[in-house]
Amino acid sequence: GEQVEQRPPHLSVPEGDSAVIICTYTDSATAYFYWYKQEPGAGLQLLMSVFSNVDRKEEQGLTVLLNKKDKQLSLNLTAAHPGDSAVYFCAVSGGNNNNRIFFGDGTQLVVKP
Amino acid sequence: EAAVTQSPRNKVAVTGGKVTLSCNQTNNHNNMYWYRQDTGHGLRLIHYSYGAGSTEKGDIPDGYKASRPSQENFSLILELATPSQTSVYFCASGDAGGADSDYTFGSGTRLLVI
């Protein structure tokens, strides 16, 4: 089945710097891609979703890049601020296991003031 | 507002006891999911459902049962709770497919088995 690897597991950046999180997946039929944010004690909040016909999507300081050739998905937080500190998860779905969503193991991001 | 609501938010159970975690969604999604989240493991799928009356095993189903009596409700049942089932449990609803595919998560249930 689908395997999703996410890196790095921990990331610390100064305020104002960018933070990049990368995921790779294995199923070439995967069609939908997601980034979630989890704050302490809370559930997962959807940040952005991307369909496979999109290579780049930008919203509110976040940039998602999709490289289908290399089966790689990335999230770039430009000009990170302390409120961005959280755990971020990538997720994919719509491949050969059409009813399932597969998650990376998460990245703990700390943005230092 | 469409949402996924889990109950209880916190639960302490004794080893060998029965625990039922409840989930309700107002998204009208066909699919519902139960995950557990442990440090170092991310989210692991326990059971899921395609619709009322259906339950499917996920990646770590042992020790858990699930019940989907209606479109809106999906329960996770621990018949004989063990300390290894101490975790945070998340319910989600979603429908794969289409440009607006989305999965909505509940706020989680913290379970401590002593």
Residue-level pLDDT at B83: 97
Residue B101: pLDDT band by 50, 70, 90 thresholds?
low
pLDDT per residue as tens digits for the range B55-83? 999 999 999 999 999 999 999 999 999 99
Predicted confidence (pLDDT) at residue B99 exceeds the cutoff of 60 = no
- Chain B: nearest CA to A94, how far in angstroms? 6
C-beta atoms of B101 and A42 within 8 A? no
Q: Are B108 and A56 spatial neighbours (Cβ–Cβ below 8 Å)?
A: no
Predicted confidence (pLDDT) at residue B98 exceeds the cutoff of 70 = no
Query: Cα separation of A61 and A69, whole Å?
Result: 25
Residue-level pLDDT at A65: 97
Percent of chain B with pLDDT over 90: 77
Residue-level pLDDT at A25: 96
pLDDT per residue as tens digits for the range A33-71? 999 999 988 889 989 989 888 899 999 899 999 999 999
Q: Measured between CB atoms, which of A43, A91, A101 is closest to B106?
A: A43
Predicted confidence (pLDDT) at residue A13 exceeds the cutoff of 50 = yes
- Which of chain B's residues have a Cβ under 8 Å away from the Cβ of A45? 105
- DSSP secondary structure string, A1-62? ---EEEE-SEEEEETTS-EEEEEEE--TT--EEEEEEE-TTS-EEEEEEEETT-SEEEETTE
Residue-level pLDDT at B2: 61
pLDDT per residue as tens digits for the range A65-89? 999 999 999 999 999 999 999 999 9
Predicted confidence (pLDDT) at residue B41 exceeds the cutoff of 80 = no
CB contact, 8 Å: A40 with chain B? no
Residue-level pLDDT at B96: 61
- Chain B: nearest CA to A98, how far in angstroms? 7
- Which of chain B's residues have a Cβ under 8 Å away from the Cβ of A92? none
Q: Are A6 and A99 spatial neighbours (Cβ–Cβ below 8 Å)?
A: no
